[in-house]
Structure formats: structure tokens, C-alpha cells
Chain A
């Protein structure tokens, strides 16, 4: 549960939400995208109250990667194309939609894997596909939930480079992270949550022990906590 979180992400800013499991990071992000309803308080997206917000193409959402495969095979291109639905809606998928998908796939370096099944990808490749899906619509705000979870070190660097390019383009980023890792140089502001409250809001905390080491990968048994809490809240 979240208590008294007052958080504003400004244009072009990279904000990291940090904190232990169960501190409310994912819940915060899910309430921003409307998956978890607010009991109380206000939510504004790009200055519009949540209830009247329609410009969803301005938000690119990268959910926490799950290993659960869907029941039917799908290719990388098919998954990424769902990010374009905001633009073409009920119209047929045209050439410029296809080009937008190609561009997003190229941005994450997955264009040559476009025809492959998503079930055969590694953790890092899968994460890149999810980012491409969010980038298709050229969002002004990227919301990412644990983008580094289960991603190997090389891919983490690739992800950091992708993110840097998006930030240079002027995109704001709200990230849920376990540790800063290779993304540290990009982050303007860190918000540390503890028990659903803001414990720190300011420059990223320096030197957080071995959690901040490059290559330190937070895949540990507690990862399950997230899944159960999502199920109950969603």
C-alpha cells in the first residue's frame, strides 16, 4: 500500500524508483498507468486528470518481464506491432505502421530477429522486444518496471544505450529499479520508497554497496513477491 507519495516527473527527466521488494515501487507504477486504482489522491498525466486522459500514445509502458509464455506462438514483429495500435486503431496496418515497427526494432537491435518466435529469445532479447513495443508509438514518457531483472550484463549495457538515445530525443523516463547498475549515469533523480512512503527524493544515492555493482543481477528467490502482490492488487 502507498501512503502519501507525491511524485512529479518533468519532461526529459529520468527518475528511478528504488526500494526493497514490497516497498511499493511496482504499485506506484501500476497506479500511474491505471492498473491499480487509487483509493484517494489525484493522478495527472501530462497535466490532464487521469479520468480525462486520452493521449495514451504519449506513454510507453514496459512491464516487468514474465517468463510465462502465452498459449500460442507469436513473432517478435507481431508483439512489437501491438504498440502501434494507438495510432492505426481500426484502420488496416499500412506501410508507415510497418516502418514505425521496423524503426523501433532497429533501435533495439532486434530487426534481424523480427520473424523469430518470442518464446525462443533470451531474457535480454525479450526485454529489448518489450522496449521496442513501447517505442513504436514514439512516447514522451517511458515507464519501465524492473527492466534489468533477469537480463545478462551485455544486454544491460545495450539497454542503457537504448535508453540514453531516447533521453537525448527528449523522452522522460520513470524506472523501477532494484539497483542503479549501468543506468546510473543516466539517472537525474532517485526516489527511494520504503513501506509505501518516500524515504529519499533527490540525486541518486552514491555507493549502495555491492547492489550497485555493474553486473550485479537481482534475480533471487524474493522475485516471487512481486508476482503475488500484483495478482492481489490488479
Chain B
């Protein structure tokens, strides 16, 4: 187990795994909070066009992917904030257009065979070069600084966007920042778990962590710890057993989710029982006529104000 640390490529792979294990859940938690868990998946599809452009122009696919992902994420955020009824159709165009465009660009570029596209789709952490690692580290540092430094602000916009606007927060700016951070995270994680599985590392550790936590801060901390654990174990395991790293990491994360959910079920049941309302189970709320509210003044005054027996139970809805 220890002898793998002697190899430079394994050292780089493990550092990259730690960085991805931290950044993906740190950003993913906000997306999950806002019920946008699959946004990372969409960005991953769009990133493929960036990779294709990188091949075509013989430049770094990672930087091209960053550029295209950021643009894609900004478009997605604008579609979301408009609350457009047909927004999901627009997103479908973006996702599949991005994917198809990427494959097409790769196939017309002279440089690469299909093997190297495969490495972006499924990740190839064991071939991370020193140059790749520098880029990954720089991008990860930005993502960590933003997601932890602005965690109260980002929590506020994801918890209740309307309230956040009334507190005077620059909600639109923060939304765009979050979208850009998600895009950057996708490109950071691209070499480690691959574009097709990027979203899993953003969502599954969060889903697993929240089986046991009650607070947002604890969920974020636990999700990051879990992300790092599965990423490092996945890379080490894939070296030992000669398996692809991306799928190993994702399956480990899902196993952790299953384990924690099983552990959490009795816990949640006990908590639920403790919080159960002991109020009466009778419901005799009279449905009033709509239009007459407050306008039928002078109908009957004080008499009707006496004790009303029809006490509605607390959680009527």
C-alpha cells in the first residue's frame, strides 16, 4: 500500500484526488440545497465541447473546458433565474448540443484518437501530468476560497432567494458566482472522475452526509470529509486492483450513501417520534366562501367573536 507513494504519478494522482474530493462536495452542497443536483451533470456535457475545441486548436483541453463550462453555466443560471416555463427544454438543447458538438470536434481534429476522448469522459487520474496538477490546484484553490469564504452568503441565496434579496445581498452576482464555481469544479474533477461522473462527486457525498446531520455546516464538513475519503480510497484501490479510478470513486461514494442511510433510519425514526405532535386529530375546519372575506362588513359583530370551538389542529396542511 505504501510503495505506491514512491511513484510520481501516484503522488500526483492522490493530490488531485484530495483536491477534487474537497471541491466537488463543497460546491455541490449549494446545488443540492437549491434542488439543482443535476446541474453539474449538465455542465459536464457542455464541457465536452471545450475539450473538443482544445483538441481542434491544439491548446490545453482543460482551459478550453473551463471557458466553455463557465459560459454554459452562466446561460444555465440565466435560464433558471428567469423561471421560464420552457427552461428545461432550453437546458436540454444546451446539454445535448454540447455533447454532440464535443464529439464532432474531436473527430475532425487530427491530433487525437478516440482513446484520449475516453480519458475525459471517464477520467484518467493516473495520467495527470505536473502541468495538469498545477492547473487543478490553482482552480481548486479559487473554488475553496469562494465556497468557504462566502458560505453564509451562498447559504442565504440557496435557502431563500427572495429573502436574501430583501436583505440587500447582490443575489444575481452571487448566483452567477456559484454557477461559475460549479463550472470550474467540473473541469477540476474532469481528469479524476470523468465528465460523465463529475456530478456524482458533487451530489452523492452531500446526500450521504445529510443522512446523519442536522445543520448545514456539519453537512458541508462531513460531505467534504467523505469526498476526500472516497476519492483517495478510489484512486488507491484502482491502482491496486487495476480498475478505472472514476467509476471506483463513484461506486465507493454510493456505498457510503447506502451505509449511512441504513444507519440513519432508526435514528430518524426516534427523532420523528420525539418531535411528534400530540394535538387532537380532529379536523373540522369550515371552508369559507371565497369572495366575501372581509368585505361583508357589519354582518355580525361581537357575538361571533366569542370562543370558537372549531380549533384547527396545528399542521392542517
A contact set with B: CB distance below 8 Å: 18-21, 33-35, 54, 56-57, 59, 61, 63, 67, 70-75, 77-79, 81-83, 85-86, 90, 93, 115-117, 120, 122-124, 133, 137, 150-153, 155, 178-180, 190, 192, 194, 199-200, 205-223, 231, 234
Contacts and interface: CB of A to CB of B under 8 A. Distances in A.
| In the A-B complex, the 6 residue pairs with the closest CB atoms | A56-B168, A152-B314, A207-B301, A205-B297, A217-B312, A82-B156
B312 A153 contact: yes
Contact of A72 (B150, B210, B275, B287): B210
Nearest to A97: B152
Contact of A210 (B153, B167, B304, B313): B304
Contacts of A179: 293-294
Given A71-B35, A215-B311, A231-B83, A220 B298 contact: no
B279 to A, nearest CB: 7
Main secondary structure, interface of B, reads: loop
Contacts of B302: 207
Contacts of A217: 285, 312, 316
Contacts of A137: 167
B29 interface: yes
Interface stretch (B53-61, B90-98, B213-221, B233-241): B213-221
21 contacts: A63-B160, A71-B37, A72-B33, A74-B216, A78-B155, A82-B159, A85-B156, A90-B150, A150-B315, A152-B311, A179-B294, A192-B295, A207-B300, A210-B288, A211-B292, A213-B304, A213-B308, A214-B308, A216-B286, A218-B288, A220-B287
Contacts, number: 201
**Interface band, chain B:** 35 or more
Given A20-B290, A72-B219, A75-B214, 18 more contacts: A19-B293, A56-B167, A59-B166, A63-B162, A72-B29, A74-B155, A82-B155, A116-B214, A117-B214, A123-B316, A192-B295, A209-B292, A209-B300, A211-B294, A215-B308, A220-B287, A234-B83, A234-B162
A156 B241 CA distance: 63
